[in-house]
Amino acid sequence: MKVTTWNVNGIRAREAQLLEWVQKEQPDVLCLQEVKASPEDVPEALCNLEGYFCLWHGHKGYSGVGLHLRKAFFKRRPAFAHPPFDMETRIVTAEIQGVVLASIYVPNGKKDFPAKQRFLEAIDAWVTELHAQGKRLILCGDLNVARTEKDVHPRLRKPAEIGQTPEEQAMLEKILSHGLVDLGRKFDPDNDQLFTWWAPWRNMRERNMGWRLDYVLASEPLVQMAKSCVASREFGSSDHGPVTAVFDPDPIHVEGEVEQETEPPKVEEKAEAKPEEPKQLSLLDE
């Protein structure tokens, strides 16, 4: 099973690149963040992405996530959901055979740090609860926290800056301590250039001067099936690069034939009421 997570920083701007990625890589699970579009505004070619069960969860111009599952692998449409702590269309989940998949976009926190704290604390409680129920998790997305000093380029390290403060790093470590493994670090533990976000100026991406903010986290029982986890700095024009993990053997097995859809609607779930538009976007949201 191949899992890709990517903060696209505007789905409409990345339409051609996302189609290129899907055609080339054919991920079984595709998690997107910062889509910046309500479901009805997602480009037609992506809205019902051929060969995928799709869920778009967003609103105009800010935040938003997507979760797309390849029909050839999952066979049946899963039940998509949003945990109670969802805010600003930041998380969508699907559960298949006791495995919970999630696309997550943690708030940046520069304009409302307490909201970011609450969101991370809610993820921690949610992970603990699901593991207590015997669920296995694959959590993907832009967590907007550089896990350690090593996850920020030396010239950009500022422990007082939101996104790399000891307090946030402690929150992320607490989440991981409840039975999750950071696959990026598992497969490349000593790499101090393993970045996934670069400021869009001064050729920061070309110079690989960035932060590691995008993760694939997996429950410990699934880790023995994980074979790789790589970040693709060279692909796309978003300020984030895709991160892809591969599991073998498949951590999910669903019996039965692919369910055929007839005349699929433009979106698979009605757009939800739009939350209040933020007054301004923070640096990383841009």
* Structural domains of the chain in order of their starting residue, each with its CATH number: 2-247 (3.60.10.10)
pLDDT over 70 (residue 256):
no
As a whole number of angstroms, the distance between CA 73 and CA 29 comes to 9
User: Assign residue 110 a region: left if phi > 0, alpha if psi is -120 to 50, beta otherwise?
Assistant: alpha
As a whole number of angstroms, the distance between CA 38 and CA 27 comes to 23
Binned at pLDDT 50, 70 and 90, residue 124 comes out as: very high
pLDDT digits 0-9 by tens, 13-69: 999 999 999 999 999 999 999 999 999 999 999 999 999 999 999 988 999 999 999
Mean of the pLDDT values across residues 133-146?
98
* pLDDT score at 235: 96
Instruction: Kindly report which listed range (120-124, 133-137, 163-167, 263-267) carries the lowest average pLDDT score.
Output: 263-267
As a whole number of angstroms, the distance between CA 172 and CA 154 comes to 21
Binned at pLDDT 50, 70 and 90, residue 265 comes out as: very low
Please report, to the nearest 10 degrees, the dihedral formed by the alpha carbons of residues 225, 226, 227, 232 taken in order.
160
* pLDDT score at 75: 85
Q: Name the percent of the chain lying above pLDDT 70.
A: 88
Active site residue 142: yes
Judged on CB neighbours under 10 Å (0-12, 13-18, 19+), 121 is: middle
pLDDT over 70 (residue 266):
no
**Which residue is catalytic, options 28, 41, 86, 142?**
142
The tokens describing 273, both together, are: 């009421």
Binned at pLDDT 50, 70 and 90, residue 162 comes out as: very high
Alpha helices, H only, the chain: 15-25, 44-47, 71-74, 113-132, 166-177, 183-187, 220-223
Mean of the pLDDT values across residues 236-244?
97
Q: What pTM does this model have? A: 0.89
Average pLDDT over the chain, rounded to whole?
90
Is the separation of the CB atoms in 143 and 32 below 8 Å?
no
pLDDT over 70 (residue 277):
no
The tokens describing 128, both together, are: 């603990």
Residues in the chain: 286
Is the separation of the CB atoms in 200 and 10 below 8 Å?
no
As a whole number of angstroms, the distance between CA 209 and CA 153 comes to 6
Q: Taking the CB of residue 24, how many other CB atoms lie within 10 A of it?
A: 9
* pLDDT score at 262: 36
Binned at pLDDT 50, 70 and 90, residue 130 comes out as: very high
Mean of the pLDDT values across residues 82-105?
97
Q: Which residue has the higher pLDDT, 173 or 261?
A: 173
